[in-house]
Amino acid sequence: MVTFRTSSPIEEVRAEHVHVLPAALRAAVPTVVVAAIVFWLAYDSGTYGLTSRTGTAIVVWWAIVLAAAVLSGAFRRIGRPAAVTGLSMAGLAAWSLASTAWAPNAAAAFAESDRVALAFGVFLVAVLWSARSQLTRWCDGIALGVTAIVLLALASRFFPSIVAHGSALPFLTVGGTRLSYPVGYWNGLGALVALAAPLVLRIAVSGARPAMRGLALAALPAFAATAYLTSSRGAALEITIALFVFFVASPRRVRAAVAIVAAGIATIPIAAYLRHASVLANGPLDGHAARHQGAVAAAILVASSCVLAVAYAWGLRVSASRLPAAARFERPLLVAVLVLAVAGIVASHPVKRFHDFKYAPVVSGTSVSQHFLSGSGNGRWQMWSVAVREFKAHPLLGGGAGSYEEWWARYRNSSTFVKNAHSLYAETLGELGIVGLLLVLGFVLTPIVVGVRRRVRARGEHALTLAALLAGFAAYAGAAGVDWVWQIPGVTLPAIVLLGLLVAPSAAASPVVEAPRRSVSPALRIAVVVAGIAIVAAEAIPLLAQVQLDASHAAALRGDGTTALRHARSAESIESWSPDPYEQVALLQEQIGNLGAARTAIGSAIARDGSDWQLWLVRARLETESGAIPQATVSLNRAKHLNPVWAAQLERVSGH
């Protein structure tokens, strides 16, 4: 029997002070809290940075620890679906941590295990603290948070002089003017839009007041405009998947079809304008033309959304008495859509598109509309091929978590810089072998299978909620297969919440009969507290080391070498298995002319990651500066061996 806490500290305090807040306000609290968290995770550059990610994980796991330590209320079974999903996720975290023993860079593997631990913590929160009555509020919170992000993203493009915005994540060397703010990655922003679209659509099809349903539907043209400006073909596909799954799974297919068609018609004006507003879509974005086109686009979008909201709400009131009669069209409509879907797939020449995906050159410097029409995979087939090559070399264990970047540098056939394989499944197969892939499939497929079974048995509003959860998570699962959204917590954590809600006991098709309430086993509480503290400590290690490294870099920029070296040494003592602090020490020692100490430090870095070609290049430079030419030649040759494409470019430049 697997038992866990089902009430949170917030819920207990709320129960004691129920008379303080009006019922409507109390009901809105979960929605507002979830929306604020979702907004912040995306706003903070997708919480991609190590300090942001580990800081979030520490907060999540401290909440779990405090709940286990302080509360001794009722427990109940979490059920087999949640147990299987949770054990798969926990197993992936443990397997990633174990791979520090064979990964070329133990620190990178350690960081990947921390990433999974964060997802696992959010999963537990969603499973344990979501009552059946709150499922729709959690969904509405995610929808509201993402809608706010969409409006902020569009405002940054339409009114750049008013809404300050950042650029894409610094290591992204391509992308041009594709809309990525505030997530930091255009495809990540598109995936976030896709997973939230069915949650917004659920409100429009629900039994809420017509005005609320019209207001919800009015957000979808903004979603479409955002997806277009990201120039993300993946987002277009993911939105299609989300809407299709929602329609098929919806208990109100006629209403869903009407809402989708109405939103599509309202999207036509802004889509047509953006297609011809080439400066706004493709840049340059700092001129008068971009500002003018942005103002016009904003006016068109607001007008279209307002007309959609009013027309849809009015239509709902007018047709309210006719809705029951529309039920007889549910199955014929489903059959018609499925036939059209199959016909569309056939008409798209899938074999040719697959060929283009594999072999077409990388698309760069093209307009948004040209990019959408391209069949190129932008090198994804080659990225996945390198991951498969790593798997073939290490089929059971994999090359170790975090090892893909170095495999790409060694076996790539292009000059493109890549950190991830642009597929959670392919990268996991290469880095963690068949064991890792099975664990990933365990927490990806289980919620989908369970969600389908629960949806078949559910009725009414609960069935509609399950349809939205299924569609949103299906969109994310597809995005994770073709891009590196798994590495962006601002996109992944909302999807993990959907995953947790699908398998939670509260989402069962019929109300769960809870086990008798009883006191918490002290052993179980102690185990949760100890495990949680261990995870918090594990998350804190790379966080503290990164803080010291950041301080070292800042001091070096100020010209304060002594302080910079002190912070770098502190990072060494905190995360001694990472090559990064030793590389920083080597660079600082080189800067002050202490070449002997610099060579010793870079040797320590290489001892911790001998597969990083850049460390060997630094070593070659230090040996050259020291006059050790034979050793420098060996180090340079090693760097060339680990990055043949760079070596070929170097030889062309040098003329040798």
Instruction: Compute the distance between CA of residue 426 and CA of residue 414 in angstroms, rounded to an integer.
Output: 19
pLDDT on residue 541? 95
pTM over 0.95: no
Q: Is the separation of the CB atoms in 399 and 103 below 8 Å? A: yes
Contacts of 424 (CB under 8 A, 6+ apart): 440, 480, 481, 484, 485, 486
With 0-12 / 13-18 / 19 or more C-beta atoms within 10 angstroms meaning exposed / middle / buried, residue 331 is exposed
Task: Say how far apart CA 21 and CA 27 lie, in whole Å.
Answer: 10
DSSP string covering 197-228: HHHHHHHHHSSS-HHHHHHHHTTHHHHHHHHH
Mean pLDDT lowest for which of 227-241, 345-359, 368-382? 368-382
| pLDDT surpasses 70 at 573 | yes
Lowest mean pLDDT among 27-31, 569-573, 643-647: 27-31
- Token readout for 318 is 């007018």
Cis peptide leading into 350, omega within 30 of 0? no
Q: How far is CA 282 from CA 145, 258, 259, 631, in A?
A: 27, 33, 31, 49
Condensed to tens digits (0 to 9), the pLDDT of residues 253-283 reads: 999 999 999 999 999 999 999 998 888 888 7
Which residue has tokens 């810089």?
417
Of 169 and 563, which is predicted with more confidence? 563
Q: Is-contact 288 160, C-beta < 8 A?
A: no
pLDDT greater than 80 at residue 477: yes
The answer to whether residues 614 and 592 touch, using CB atoms and an 8 Å cutoff, is no
Among the listed residues 365, 343, 421, 413, the one whose alpha carbon sits nearest the alpha carbon of residue 388: 421
Residue 113 has pLDDT above 80, yes or no: yes
Burial 442-463 (b: 16+ CB within 10 A, else e): bbbebbbebbeebbeebeebbb
Mean pLDDT (the chain) is 88
Tally of CA atoms within 13 A in the half-sphere of 580 that contains its CB: 20
The answer to whether residues 377 and 357 touch, using CB atoms and an 8 Å cutoff, is yes
- For the chain, the 3-state helix, strand and coil shares in percent, each to the nearest 5, are 75, 0, 25
> Would you state the structure tokens that stand for residue 638, as one six-digit string?
């090693």
The 3 state secondary structure assigned to 67-94 is HHHHCCCCEEECCHHHHHHHHHHHHHHH
Burial 491-529 (b: 16+ CB within 10 A, else e): bbbbbbbbbbbbbbbbbbeeebeeeeeeebeeeebeebb
When pLDDT is averaged across residues 113-128 and rounded to a whole number, the result is: 94
DSSP 8-state symbol, 102: T
CA distance 235 to 516: 46
Q: One-letter amino acid identity for 27?
A: A
pLDDT, one tens digit per residue, over 596-622 is: 999 999 999 999 999 999 999 999 999
Residue burial 221-258, b: 16+ Cβ < 10 Å; e: rest? bbbbbbbbbbbbbbbbbbbbbbbbbbbbbbbbbbbbbb
Q: By C-alpha distance, which of 60, 149, 424 is closest to 52?
A: 60
Q: What is the dihedral of CA 502, 505, 511, 515, to 10 degrees?
A: 180
- Write out the H or E segment, with its range, that includes residue 144: helix 135-158
The helix (H) or strand (E) run that includes residue 77 is: strand 75-77
For each of the domains in the chain, give its residue range(s) and CATH number, in order of start: 3-43+74-353+379-507 (no CATH), 527-654 (1.25.40.10)
Position 515 confidence tier, pLDDT thresholds 50, 70, 90: very low
Helix (H) or strand (E) holding 355: helix 350-359
CA atoms within 13 A on the CB side of 646: 17
User: What does the DSSP 8-state code read for residue 367?
Assistant: -
Q: Which two structure tokens, joined as six digits, stand for 21?
A: 């807040």
Closest CA to 235 of 183, 279, 284: 183
CB 362 within 8 A of CB 371: no
**Structural contact between residues 410 and 643, judged by C-beta atoms closer than 8 angstroms:** yes
Q: What is the rounded CA–CA span in Å between residue 50 and residue 187?
A: 20
Structural contact between residues 75 and 505, judged by C-beta atoms closer than 8 angstroms: no
Q: pLDDT tens digit string along 55-86?
A: 999 999 999 998 887 766 545 567 899 999 99
Helix (H) or strand (E) holding 254: helix 253-276
